[in-house]
Structure 1
Amino acid sequence: MTAPLPDAGFLNRYGPRALILGGSEGIGAAFAEQLARTGFDLTLVARSAGTLEATGADIAARYGVAVDCRPMDLTRPDLAERAADLLSEHEYGLVIYNAGATHGVGLFLDNPLDLARNLIRLNCDGPAIFSHLALSAMRERGRGGMILVSSMSGLVGSGYVAAYAATKSFEMVLAEGLNWELARQGVDVLCAVATLTDTPAMQRSGMVPDSGFPAMSAEAVASGALQHLGTGPIWYAAGDEVVEAMRAAPRAALTENASRASARLWGIDPA
């Protein structure tokens, strides 16, 4: 099914070009396709150059928009300098930070410390850097938008993905504060909180395919995020009612359930 496009004013408000970090596949590629169909030119960033170039060439050929591809590791130590260079190349009316898939599943102390530190660089440092640089330019222009893609894991601490869950909560709280600060100046910030989503990264993570948890499509997550940009700081792909039910439960029970769900998703014996 074709995902619904944003309304007619979307390109005027957030165009003419979008920067998608983590734009080579999955949710990022779905964002790219839907924005290209709307008429956006694109800059796509991802670590895997081959996949990135293939996605960019396909979108440019099908929709006739300009697509630049920039291979980049978003955990590199000089990311702030590289981000500044990248943002100086074009006027971006929309920036989407979609990097940060689950990896290194297992008990925190049984994994190398570098796995946790890499997640902090990817899901905390990266969003902070691109938010500060991109939103400063948007504030000067008096228009623009930013979407940070987070995860339901960020709503509660969970065993087996403790560092990942902690870093994804950072994106939610950051978006809430930034949207409050900038909405009055014509700039919208949204955290799109994805639920379990069928993406290549999910499949590579070692997740058990028959775990019994249904997965959303990447297209549905991207479409929902674009439709909700400008309506508030947080959009939950799973629905507000799911989140309200979670918040009504005792915190310890939520962590217990989330930890057991993580074990089930990755085929770990929690005993």
Structure 2
Amino acid sequence: MKELPGDFADRYGPRALILGGSEGIGAAFAEGLAAAGLDLTLVARSAQALEETAAAIRRSHGVDVEMIQLDLTRADIEARAGEIVAARDYGLIIYNAGATHGVGLFLDQPVDHALNLVRLNCAAPIAFAHHGLAAMRSRGRGGLLIVSSMSGMVGSGYVAAYAASKSFEIVLAEGLHWELARDGVDVTCAVATLTDTPAMRRSGMVEIEGLVPMDAGAFAMNALDALGTAPVWYAVGEAVVEAMRAAPRTAATAHASAMSAQLWGMDADPDTAGR
């Protein structure tokens, strides 16, 4: 794993808060930041995964690792965000939560499935951003890194609510980047491509010949390198993103929907899907 610049801890230390920090990309963020000397607070739903990741990082790097077991979709997330942020001196907050948690046609799933994604990818990032950035602005330094997905680039069948909620994260980061730059605080949205994580494997993703998911560690370290350089960083590169933007929206949606169907073994024909 590549190393962060020597002054990274001065800019974003002494402690990082990683929401969704127990495995996959979150654990890769934790590993890279601990190697740079930052203490960590890891937040996730799974106590066992938190304990395993925290123990491994302590053994490898000797930094302080705090664990908080928390469901980020809970109704009182704004209050909990305030408590967590106020309890420590965070120079960096990474919002990495937000896997698909199952795919399917919008109307074939309970409405709470979609609302849960809104709570996870919209309400919770707002809560932690508001509390965390306020503290950073008063100090004149710090950073917020929000992890989104290429699904947020265009509407897509089978993941309609997920794609919409990930789009929210991209647009939120763009606005906050503009607002906080004058205060010396960096805000970036790191947009992931298909990445090999335990959450993605649990989601029922199908292995496709010729399609190789990105390594979680590579994504995490490149995202940290991009922090503060631009409002949005795309793991696939700007050329791919520009090509997507140049395509008609209906064609882009059709392509994204077909890809979703392929990845999760669903019916790619819109005339027969769900029937």
Structure-1-length-normalised TM-score: 0.98
How does 1:37-56 map onto structure 2 within 5 Å? 37-56=35-54
1:200 and 1:257 map into 2 onto residues whose CA distance is: 25
- How does 1:108-123 map onto structure 2 within 5 Å? 108-123=106-121
Deviating beyond 6 angstroms after TM superposition, the runs of 4 or more aligned structure 1 residues are none
Give the conservation status (yes or no) of the 8 Å contact 2:102–2:204. no
Answer whether contact 1:148 1:192 (CA < 8 A) is retained: yes
Distance verdict in 2 for CA 1:240–1:226, change over 3 Å? same
Quick one: distance in 2 between partners of 1:241 and 1:103? 29
> 1:194: which partner in 2?
192
1:10 equivalent to 2:12? Answer: no
Give the match for residue 249 of structure 1.
247
- Cα offsets for 1:108-140 (capped at 9, x unmatched): 001110100000000000110000000000000
Residue matched to 1:72:
70
Distance 2:173 2:191 in 1: 11
CA shift, 1:152, in A, is: 0.2
Say yes or no: does 1:101 pair with 2:99.
Answer: yes
Q: C-alpha separation between the residues in 2 aligned to 1:211 and 1:146?
A: 36
CA RMSD of aligned residues (A): 0.8
Alpha-carbon distance change, 193 to 187 in structure 1, aligned in 2, over 3 angstroms: same
Structure 1 contact 211–265 (Cα < 8 Å) conserved: no
What is the percentage of aligned positions where both structures have the same residue?
65
Corresponding residue of 2:158: 160
- Per-residue CA shift, 1:16-37, capped at 9, x if unaligned? 1000000000000000000000
Alignment partners' CA distance in 2, 1:45 and 1:79: 13
AA aligned opposite 2:125: P
* TM-score for both structures, normalised by structure 2: 0.96
Counterpart CA distance in 2 for 1:82 and 1:16 is 21
Tell me how far apart the structure 1 counterparts of residues 268 and 209 of structure 2 sit (CA, whole Å): 15
Does the 8 Å CA contact 2:177/2:186 hold for their aligned counterparts? yes
Stretches of structure 1 lacking an aligned partner (at least 5 in a row): none
Residue type of the alignment partner of 2:262: R
Q: Which residue of 1 is the match for residue 134 of structure 2?
A: 136
The one of 258, 261, 268 equivalent to 1:260 is: 258
Q: Deviations over 1:2-59 (max 9, x none)?
A: 2x12211111000010000000000000000000000000000000011111101110
Count, aligned residues: 269
2-side partners of 1:203 and 1:216: how far apart? Answer: 13
Give secondary structure in 1 for the equivalent of 2:90: coil
Letter matched to residue 66 of structure 2: D
- Matches of 2:101 and 2:211, distance apart in 1: 18
Q: CA deviation at 1:211?
A: 5.4
1:104 is displaced (CA, Å) by 2.6
Q: Which residue of 2 aligns with 1:234?
A: 232
Q: Who is 2:148 aligned against?
A: 150
